Structure 1
């Protein structure tokens, strides 16, 4: 069922505390933690605690929680002191776009100059 924890989902296991993560922020609807394979000096993932396979399905079912994810991404940037230099929020959707964990999540990347276009 949409929104319910999935037994085979790595991020659901992090939300449940069954898999360790370096948590930097947590709210009632979201959790933010450091990426284990950082692509920039700051690379934090912000996820909804509820399971949705990607950002589009999250936004369609729970627009308020989707907004919470984006708001938390901004707070992560402030906490990490990357606001002034600039940062990127990336939401990959589907394997072809690089999504490897099918639980909606936003990457907050910064701490160095970021090229455009990415990929």
Structure 2
């Protein structure tokens, strides 16, 4: 297995080297808007513990992360009123992982609206900021 690279973009965001539309952060996770969303309100839950993906994650960090994923999914449901929610996590490039730091996608699904492709189409910053604020208020 390839080693964890501390220079990945999520590690840089967590260190404050790159800006992000943050929804929530504590000592265990960073929750932020995906700037290339598949749907309105697409959120990422990123454990702070260094791991490439689910396969090398510390079980304690992983258990904490999934609790945050549930909290965030509930907040997305309350704030944005989607008809459903997808939770997705990719492991390695052939499976669709493009940033090699463990993270979970919380993707609102709206009836009659197609889900976009992973990693395509950058969202408007003002819209992301408004969504982040609404979801944070629901947490």
Please, what TM-score do these two structures have when normalized by structure 1?
Answer: 0.80
Gap regions ≥5 residues in structure 2: 119-139
The residue aligned with 1:10 is 9
Alignment of 1:95-114 (within 5 A): 95-113=93-111
CA distance in 2, matches of 1:100, 1:87: 21
The residue aligned with 1:33 is 32
Gap regions ≥5 residues in structure 1: none
Residues 83 and 75 from structure 1, CA distance in 2 versus in 1: closer, same or farther, beyond 3 angstroms? farther
After superposing on structure 2, the runs of 4+ consecutive aligned residues of structure 1 that deviate more than 2 Å are 82-86
Q: Which moved more, 1:36-45 or 1:76-85?
A: 76-85
The residue aligned with 2:50 is 51
The residue aligned with 2:75 is 79
CA distance in 1, matches of 2:15, 2:67: 22
C-alpha contact (below 8 Å) 1:42/1:111 kept by paired residues: no
Q: How many residues align?
A: 110
CA distance in 2, matches of 1:27, 1:75: 13
The residue aligned with 1:88 is 86
Q: Higher RCO, 1 or 2 (CA under 8 Å, sep at least 6)?
A: 2
**How far does residue 79 in structure 1 lie from its aligned partner after superposition?**
1.8
**How far does residue 87 in structure 1 lie from its aligned partner after superposition?**
0.9
C-alpha contact (below 8 Å) 1:92/1:98 kept by paired residues: yes
C-alpha contact (below 8 Å) 1:40/1:110 kept by paired residues: yes
**How far does residue 44 in structure 1 lie from its aligned partner after superposition?**
0.6
